[in-house]
A and B are shown apart, each in its own frame.
Chain A
Amino acid sequence: MEFLRPPSLHEALEAKAAHPEAVPISGGTDLMVEINFDRGRPETVLDLSRVPELAEWERENGHVRVGAGVTYERIIAELGEALPGLAMASRTVGSPQIRNRGTVGGNLGTSSPAGDGLPPLYASEAEVELSSTGGTRRVPVSEFVTGPKRNALRPDELISAFRMPRATGPQQYAKVGTRNAMVIAVCSFGLALCPERGRVEACIGSAGPTPIRTPEAERFVEGVMEEGGLWETRGPIGDAALRRFGEMVQAAARPIDDVRGTAAYRVHAIGVLARRSLGWAWDEYRRGGE
């Protein structure tokens, strides 16, 4: 096995161009399990954990650009206000030991439908920045992830960052599992309210081959809010509309039976998560007006 340890992004991209077979490693919380159990023994490993550019984040007028190597722990500590949904999702990942190492770049690299970093990125229509020595392209996250554990990364590319709008309203992330920590989601749900645009954005996790957006359910609640003038009055949504939202989200799910849960349970649980998440986010919006 060859171990490459580039000290800068420029050198990392050159190394990837020269060794397209090289497997990148950031926090190692997915890749090391593969190596320890000899499920795959990469010929070449490209260590990205000392590339300073990947560990930075910055504000870009109304957006935040987050380097692929920023850990969950830092997202929780530093980006809770700008990206509250992603910070909530980060809090549900693994344990302190895992959050100190694991990165959203690695979550994107793995592209698991259960990845907790993904629903918040989908909901807010994040762009994934893919870099090579030839330049950088930006791909919507929903086009980056192409299937379960499959994505659009080319052999000469690295994920350098993701970019998403700063929150303009309340956001939620909810996850079902057997414990409150250390679980891969049975199913999950991310939601963002964008009051200035009258938008509700949502995404289902771990109940389909990829995370799944829920446009019909979103347009339905937006209609309820517009009709009732609720964005302005901050009045209650009403139980019937919350339940209907849950049902419409359920209709978008495409789960399978697996070791973590049955498809039927996932559909049930997704409806509950969706209804509650919208209720919590709307309550927060209403309190914001007091």
Chain B
Amino acid sequence: MRLSCVVNGEEREAENVWEGESLLYVLRERLGLPGSKNACLQGECGSCSVYMDGVIVCSCLVLAGQAEGREIVTVEGLAGEGGLHPVQEAFLETGGVQCGFCTPGFVVATHDLLSRNPGPSDAEIREALAGNLCRCTGYEKILDAVRLAARRMSP
């Protein structure tokens, strides 16, 4: 089937999409957006997190056809003209990135958290990132990154 949706602000079309494919597969293999990562395909790790119509979802659990006509924002869509998004900067500076596999998911989930709650408590950060797994950092540096981004982004 053919699939059209808006990805990172652009109208995109994918041809010959198999009906059983996930949105994650479409993004990575058909639309050339490998930022969202494939690590578990069962909703456990959050490394495939993207926005769909403004809410974050695991793109591995969205059936391709369910994304028809929807607005998708991936990690590739967060950086602005002037460079990386403050959330991305904060992850780099604090050492919240080691192998980097989990990073796109954490960046999208942190972006979502801070857009809803600009000054989250530690408990709120843990709750918001509960669906993202990291096997390298031990999470402390990731928490530092979220706190740093929150400070920088608050007016």
- Say yes or no for A49: interface residue by CB 8 A criterion: yes
Which one of A1, A36, A97, A181 contacts B19 once the chains associate, using CB atoms below 8 Å? A1
Inter-subunit contact B42/A36 (CB<8 Å): yes
Please tell me if the beta carbons of B130 and A47 are within 8 angstroms of each other in the complex: no
Residues of chain B with a CB closer than 8 A to A96's CB: 56, 109, 112, 127-128, 130-131
Residues of chain B within 8 A (CB-CB) of A181 are: 127, 130-131
Q: Among the listed A35, A37, A182, which residue makes an inter-chain contact with B63, where contact means beta carbons less than 8 Å apart?
A: A35
Which of A33, A41, A96, A180 has its CB near the most chain B CB atoms (within 10 A)?
Answer: A96
Q: Give the contacts of B7-46 with A (CB-CB under 8 A).
A: 18-20, 22, 41-44, 46
- Answer whether residue B58 sits at the interface, using C-beta atoms and an 8 A cutoff: yes
Indicate if the CB atoms of B20 and A1 lie closer than 8 Å.
yes
Q: How many A-B residue pairs have CB under 8 A?
A: 91
Residue count of chain A within 8 Å CB distance of chain B: 30
B41-67 at interface with A (beta carbon < 8 Å): 41-44, 46, 49, 55-58, 60-63, 65-66
Q: Size of chain B's interface in residues, with CB distance under 8 A?
A: 29
Give B66 Cβ to nearest chain A Cβ, in Å. Answer: 5
User: Restricting to A34-78, which residues have a CB under 8 Å from any CB of B?
Assistant: 35-37, 41, 45, 47, 49, 73
* CB pair A3 B1 closer than 8 Å: yes
A5 within 8 A of B: yes
Verify if A2 is at the interface (C-beta below 8 Å from B).
yes
Within 8 A of B (CB), among A158-202: 179-182
